Structure formats: C-alpha cells, structure tokens
Amino acid sequence: MELEFLGTGAGVPSKGRNVSSIALKMLDERNEVWLFDVGEATQHQILKTAIKPRKITKIFISHLHGDHIFGLPGLLSSRANQGGNSPLEIYGPVGIKEYVETSLKVTGGKLGYRIKYIELKNDGEIFNDKTFSVSAGKLKHRITCFGYRVVEKPRTGELLVDKLEQYNIPNGPIFGQLKAGKTVTLDDGTVLNGKDFIGPDKPSKVVTVISDTRYTPKIDELAQDADVLVHESTFSNDEKQLAYNYYHSTATQAAEVAKRRNVKGLILTHISARYTGRGAFILQKEAQKIFKHTKVANDFDIYEVPFK
C-alpha cells in the first residue's frame, strides 16, 4: 500500500505544486487506486505517473472548494475514454452529486460507467468489506469538510513453505488448500492441518487524511494509532492567527496531533504558496521539533505504508 501525492499546494496551482489530490495505491491488496480530492489538472498529474485511471474505484472528496474538486469532471470523462468501464464510487459532502452531474450535463459529457454517490452528512463508518473499512469525521472548515480514516483489516499470514519441505509436497493445489487453512490428507495417509503451517496474521494498516481545517478533537479520533497521518499544513506556527482566521492548520498543530495520538509517520501537505521551493522545509523543521517522523510532501512523492 502506497500514497502518491498528485498535488500538494493550497488554494491555487503554482509552478512547484499542483492543488490537492492524493492517490492511495492498493494494487497488491485490492488491485485498486483510491483518490482523496481531485483538484484542477489532477488528470494531467496522473499522466506523469504509472497510475491507470481505470484502476480508480473510489474517490473521497473532503469539501467542495474548487481547489479540491475542479479536476473531477475532466478526470471522470477521461476515465471513460481510457477503458474505464467499471463502476465508480464518489464520497463527499452533500452537493458533490449535483456538482458532477451538472458539469457533465452542461458539457454534454457521457460516461460509459455508473457512478454511485455517497453524500455524507454525519460522522461514522462509510465503507466496510472483508479487507478494508473507511470512516469519515467532520472537520472545522468554512464549509462542510470531512477527514477520512482508512483501516486495512488483518491479513492471513504467509504459508510456511520451509516447514512443509519434509513432506515433499509438489507445488500446486495442496499448497492452496493449506494456505486456506484446510485439512489435507496426503497419499501416504499423513494428515496436515493448514492452520499449523500459516504464519502470524499480518497486522492491519491505518491511513488518515486530514484536509482543510482548524484543530478539532475529531482529528485526534481519526488519527489514533495511524501508520500514516496526512495532515494539511497551510501555515507555519508564526502565522497561527492567520491559519485560525482562514480555518486552516499549522505544522505545529499537525505535529502535536501526531505525537498525542501515537501516529507512526506524519506527512504535511496543502502548503501555502508563500513557502516556495525549499521554503516548505520551514514547516518540516517546525513539525520535527515536536514529532521527529515528519516529512513535507512534494508533488509525485511516494510513501510506503507503514511510513518509512
């Protein structure tokens, strides 16, 4: 599972940073890609990566400000033209369905796949299947805004092939049965219980994505024990009053959450254009004074989950 940052800037595109979009790549786990926000020109950013739009199955929108959704109609249309005919789910605040459908209607856009809209009104679990669950929590921005917590469920451990060598089992269906935990009887009458040959379950992974917001206790709840916390960091602590006035966060506030909630790694994004070039490292150094395992994301950065 990897995070790839397609846009890390705040408000408007700049030469160094496009506006908000993050891809959560789960190719090994689900053969899928999930997007968090789709700012203007996200599809152009995707062209510079190995991401295939047809692999995108879910899109999570934090809020309806333009720098988080202006790229959505274009991406949806291009997905239809690039072999993406599988259904797509879009999660976000009330109004996201009207925005997308109006954009497509006015431009005469036709999609060859179905979109399921899940418009959010309250906190709580919004998705759950045998491999992952997703919860949403209301943040504190100028308009309705949600943060997201993605939890991978524990996976069955690896088959302990070395432990099976003494039985001279040929590679094939028997291995699959043992991997599934079934009991197998060999030709010589030996009975093997698959559960005896499976390693410990792989622990779950947690990714939390916090978009535009003042501090609110809901962030702590979403971030608890996260392997990776992606947190907006529009301003430095020197401008904490400005951050408050504009309903944003500082690098210090993000780091305090990470330290307090037992987070393993913190990635700062949604960087104001005032921190150009290496100026963004001011935010990283500020946060690292509180929480060592902090990085400032740049466009096209890729981070493995858990954070390393």
Annotated binding site: 63, 65, 67-68, 141, 212, 270
CA torsion sign for 168, 173, 175, 178 is: negative
Question: Residue positions in the annotated binding site for Zn(2+)?
Answer: 63, 65, 67-68, 141, 212, 270
Beta strands in the chain (DSSP E): 2-7, 21-26, 32-36, 56-60, 88-93, 115-120, 124-128, 132-138, 146-152, 183-185, 191-193, 206-210, 228-232, 266-269, 294-296, 302-304
225 is catalytic: no
Burial 131-153 (b: 16+ CB within 10 A, else e): ebbbbbbbbebeebbbbbbbbbe
Mark out the alpha helices in the chain (DSSP H runs).
Answer: 42-46, 66-69, 72-81, 96-107, 161-164, 173-179, 217-223, 240-245, 251-260, 281-288
Instruction: Please tell me the total number of residues recorded for the chain in this structure.
Output: 308
Q: Catalytic one among 37, 67, 227, 299?
A: 67
Just list the catalytic residues: 67
